[in-house]
Amino acid sequence: MKFFVDTAEVQEIRELAATGLVDGVTTNPSLIAKSGRKMAEVIAEICAITPGPVSAEVTATDYAGMLAEGRYLRDIAKNVAVKVPLTEAGLHTCRTLANEKTQVNVTLCFSANQALLAAKAGAAYVSPFVGRLDDIGQDGMAVIADIVQIYRNYPHLKTEVLVASIRHPMHLLTSAKLGAQVATLPPAVIRQLFKHPLTDRGLDAFLADWKKTGQSIL
């Protein structure tokens, strides 16, 4: 399973990329706004940190506007994946950009039917938002299961399931068990994955025993 980090904070990306765990990055206008910097500047810097796909989202809502913005964003770096919303105009844009050999991430997906449309439009990735579905009383992971099953039924569909709006490690675990190819995680959730009380307890015990020996490895 590929791990993307969901942030526009460059320092966070650098630190996590150094661990070898980052396969790509997802951003959106909200995350870019929090950085207080120009979108093109932020995207270019992130693309220089990781060779994996970096999702940069359009802000226009009409086909002509999205297409123009998408072409601008993809020219920032070779590893930009243009992110478009799952609307009729967004899927039209997806088809055009995909035909131009541009990777497209179709975002704001909330149903398996929508995901099927994204795949037919040629999306490289579709981003179902599991946390937001959970927030309104729906089962976000059930949607992931449906999408994965549908895509498996039709091997000619090459779209990868990029699970988004992940709130906690169990979202990640279930996504991996279901066979989703990618998960995009906030830095805080990635750091949660390292933690287990038995790991901490075991390390403390090993260090205490070693200290009693009075030895040093170096």
Task: Point out the residues that are catalytic.
Answer: 83
Residue 100 contacts by C-beta under 8 Å, 6 or more apart in sequence?
A: 71
Asked if 1 contacts 171 with a C-beta cutoff of 8 angstroms, the reply is: no
Residue 88 contacts by C-beta under 8 Å, 6 or more apart in sequence?
A: none
Tokens describing residue 26: 């997802």
Query: Number of C-alpha atoms within 13 angstroms, CB side, residue 140?
Result: 25
Burial class from Cβ neighbours inside 10 Å (0-12, 13-18, 19+) for residue 195 reads exposed
| Cβ count within 10 A of residue 24 | 22
Tokens describing residue 28: 């959106």
Asked if 36 contacts 51 with a C-beta cutoff of 8 angstroms, the reply is: no
Tokens describing residue 71: 């072409």
